Amino acid sequence: MALVKIITGGFNCGKTTTAEKLMEEYTAEGQRAAGFIAEAEYTNGEKNTYYIRDISTGRRELAVCLEPPQDCRPGEWKKHDFSRFYFSEGAFIFAAEILEGAVGADFVMIDELGPLELGGGGSFYAVKRLIDNYEGTIILVIREKILEEMVVLLGLNIEEVEIINPEAMPSR
């Protein structure tokens, strides 16, 4: 059974930054990493685009943006009621492939699970399969407002999960 750690907090509190620091600590200890990080790009101080970056290879795939690319395939990008963004179905296939290839890694980073996964979409089923079958450490980034629902949906026991909240960490 996997050891699960969850990085949680509000919007823009440093969840991804904390995930990257934790990943650096683990890899500095010689642990092999797999998984993905959500990298945001900004325009005028506002997040407008997200990429999924495979932490093993560095390959990036456009995942979320305000307007779909003009050269996209029909049905590739979907807008959901909970967000102002469009989401790429192809990026979630990419994320699932990353997680399927995580066998042999000491830890797997998944940044981030949000409302799409809460509804059973996005990376949800790939993450659930990983939790059910993986023996190493899984680090999940989950928004605080959906944390309890997501833990139940993933079949986790909150008392057996280490919770890391960047907002509660001392400043350095």
Q: Give the pLDDT of residue 169.
A: 66
- What global pTM score does this model have? 0.92
Specify whether the CB–CB gap between 158 and 148 falls below 8 A. yes
Helix axes 89-100, 124-133, angle to 10 degrees: 10
Paired residues of 143 in beta bridges: 9
User: CA 44, CA 107: separation in Å to the nearest integer?
Assistant: 35
Q: Give the pLDDT of residue 111.
A: 95
Checking if the pLDDT of 141 tops 60, the result is yes
Q: Average the pLDDT over 75-95 and give the result.
A: 92
* Domains (range + CATH), the chain: 3-164 (3.40.50.300)
Q: Give the pLDDT of residue 69.
A: 87
* Mean residue pLDDT across the chain: 92
